């Protein structure tokens, strides 16, 4: 005799099988009313129109037949107790031990797969299809049975084992995260900027309304005569380059004998609500270059830009070149874009309606809130960066382990509205920087052909923010001698990959050829184990000039020490 639980499960499974075809038909029809505005969270404009969905009858019938066949197979497996799931969200033994939970998870995975195949089969242009695919990804990620206590076998088991303590802790975690305004990805109480992250010794030697300039203490008796300036992205805080001593690119540069300076961006408040792209280029990047020259007495410096910091650095160099100035001897671009023809998944959000909406909303003043930006980037990888923590924090009552990179990722920054609006239109929408004379910045027409200097360009193979093709494209516009290197992993993990760890790989093309596309480049590239940092360090040394005695103090003349590194700007919360 079957127990009541098993009978209930069998009844549920039978109902599922009987309504399979009708459910599939309704799912197809639901595409007609899909609202991508909700799926796009903070990025899509409310004016974005839902796409019209059309399928060929042939593809529709093939998908229906495939679905019914796989559903029947799943039903038979469930009757025999042999249904299995391999998705890591359902990997805990509690799922396998509960036939109803296994069936629910397997049915969800089948439905998700079918929805994804439906999105791929839509007869429309590539951009509309990509938007549908993004919406489906958001919808299916949110609908996973693991996200609900009533369906999550692992969370239920833990609740029983802890006599409800995990649920109580989960509620506490939820209330805490509501109060702080974001989902906790790590135990943020463990970290403090300047205490156990951003600890490389140095001093703030200049500041204005936009940034503080940090000079770092030399770690060698001699330094190269050309100082080294790093321009990080203003969309995040600079200490991604200085998390811990063992994975700090800043510390690594100083250990290699470079007199190192870093831009630490101010976290904008309402007093900066009217700041523009021109302000950031003229009063921050160009100002930092000149102050670094003033302090060191160097005629030229070496500079590095990371992510949007690279876009701003490239723009600043073009402005300076238009003025007949060339204070930078060489430039490094890390996962940066100058050509925005290939923007990857972010392209699904960008169209004229969206940009006009943002321009109307904040183009003349306002702030793009850091928490909205952070949420948007998290939803680009919803399972890894959103629902994983929802399940762990709230359903299982766990405290995520301390992780410096995720602490940094949660330490968000605002952006001035006019800056943000200019950036959207002139780069992502109209791609003006690569078209000589099309973009005007700081009163100068931008022409990258004038940025004639040795450059080192790095891209990460699995980068979802700056696709490898977008990073590589800079090789086609900068006229100086170029070296391109591709690293494994993504936007952050690929960059923050110190040699001592011996992790990952990087690819170099020894013949130095730079064909039109990164795919063509790869055909002649060779894989090298370990970090790309050593290759970059060797290249930078050839651009840095002779070695001179390291300075004994920070700053010079009117540029005196203001406060110890990492400074106060980096500690301001959004």
Are the beta carbons of 488 and 506 closer than 8 angstroms? yes
Strand ranges across the sheet with 455-460: 526-529, 505-508, 482-487, 455-460, 328-334, 301-306, 228-231, 260-265, 211-216, 202-207, 563-564
Residue among 78, 76, 67 nearest 23 (CA) = 67
Instruction: Tell me the C-alpha distance between 396 and 409, whole Å.
Output: 23
* Alpha helix segments (H runs only) across 81-125: 93-96, 99-120
Could you give the 3-state DSSP secondary structure of residue 81? coil
Instruction: Tell me the C-alpha distance between 176 and 412, whole Å.
Output: 17
Q: Which residues are catalytic?
A: 307
Q: What DSSP element (H or E) covers 79?
A: helix 57-80
Query: In terms of C-beta distances under 8 Å and separation of at least 24 residues, what long-range contacts does 22-25 make, across chains too?
Result: 24/64, 24/67, 24/68, 24/114
Instruction: Tell me the C-alpha distance between 453 and 511, whole Å.
Output: 19
Could you give the 3-state DSSP secondary structure of residue 266? coil
Residue matched to tokens 């160099």 = 317
Beta strands 328-334; 505-508: pairing state: unpaired
Which two structure tokens, joined as six digits, stand for 385?
């960066």
Q: What angle (nearest 5°) sits at the alpha carbon of residue 26, between those of residues 77 and 46?
A: 120
**What is the chain's Cα-based Rg?**
26
């Amino acid at each position: 005799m079957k127990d009541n639980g098993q009978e209930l499960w069998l009844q549920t499974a039978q109902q599922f099988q009987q309504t399979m075809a009708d459910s599939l038909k309704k799912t197809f029809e639901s595409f007609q009313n899909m609202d991508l505005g909700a799926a796009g969270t903070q990025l899509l404009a409310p004016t974005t129109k839902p796409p019209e969905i059309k399928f060929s009858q042939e593809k529709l019938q093939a998908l229906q037949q495939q679905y019914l066949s796989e559903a029947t197979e799943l039903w038979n497996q469930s009757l025999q107790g042999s249904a299995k799931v391999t998705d890591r969200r359902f990997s805990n033994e509690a799922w396998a031990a509960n036939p109803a939970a296994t069936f629910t998870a397997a049915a969800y995975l089948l439905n998700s797969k079918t929805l994804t195949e439906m999105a791929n089969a839509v007869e429309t242009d590539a951009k509309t299809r990509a938007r549908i695919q993004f919406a489906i990804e958001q919808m299916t990620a949110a609908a996973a049975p693991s996200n609900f206590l009533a369906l999550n076998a692992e969370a239920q088991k833990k609740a029983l084992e802890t006599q409800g303590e995990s649920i109580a802790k989960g509620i506490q975690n939820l209330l805490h995260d509501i109060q702080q305004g974001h989902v906790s990805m790590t135990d943020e109480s463990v970290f403090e900027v300047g205490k156990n992250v951003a600890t490389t010794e140095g001093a703030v030697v200049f500041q204005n309304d936009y940034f503080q300039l940090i000079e770092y203490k030399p770690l060698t008796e001699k330094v190269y005569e050309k100082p080294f300036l790093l321009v990080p992205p203003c969309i995040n805080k600079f200490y991604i380059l200085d998390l811990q001593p063992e994975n700090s690119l800043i510390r690594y540069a100083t250990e290699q004998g470079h007199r190192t300076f870093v831009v630490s961006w101010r976290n904008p408040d309402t007093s900066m609500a009217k700041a523009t792209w021109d302000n950031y280029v003229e009063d921050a990047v160009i100002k930092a270059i000149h102050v670094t020259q003033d302090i060191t007495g160097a005629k030229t410096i070496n500079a590095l830009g990371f992510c949007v910091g690279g876009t701003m650095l490239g723009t600043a160099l073009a402005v300076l070149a238009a003025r007949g100035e060339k204070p930078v001897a060489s430039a490094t671009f890390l996962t940066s874009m100058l050509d925005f023809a290939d923007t990857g998944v972010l392209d699904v959000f960008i169209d004229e309606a969206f940009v006009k909406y943002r321009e109307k909303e904040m183009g003349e003043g306002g702030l793009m809130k850091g928490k909205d930006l952070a949420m948007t980037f998290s939803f680009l990888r919803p399972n890894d960066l959103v629902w994983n923590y929802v399940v762990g924090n709230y359903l299982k009552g766990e405290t995520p382990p301390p992780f410096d990179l995720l602490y940094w990722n949660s330490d968000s920054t605002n952006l001035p509205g006019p800056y943000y609006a200019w950036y959207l239109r002139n780069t992502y929408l109209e791609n003006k920087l690569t078209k000589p004379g099309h973009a005007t910045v700081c009163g100068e027409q931008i022409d990258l052909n004038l940025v004639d200097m040795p450059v080192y360009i790095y891209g990460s193979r699995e980068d979802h923010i700056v696709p490898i093709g977008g990073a590589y494209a800079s090789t086609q516009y900068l006229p100086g001698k170029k070296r391109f290197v591709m690293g494994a992993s993504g936007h952050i993990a690929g960059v923050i990959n110190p040699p001592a760890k011996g992790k990952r790989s990087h690819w170099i093309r020894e013949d130095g050829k730079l064909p039109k596309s990164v795919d063509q480049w790869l055909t002649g590239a060779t894989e090298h184990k370990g970090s790309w940092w050593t290759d970059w360090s060797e290249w930078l040394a050839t651009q840095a000039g002779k070695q001179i005695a390291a300075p004994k103090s920070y700053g010079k003349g009117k540029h005196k020490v203001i406060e110890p590194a990492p400074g106060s700007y980096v500690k301001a919360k959004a």
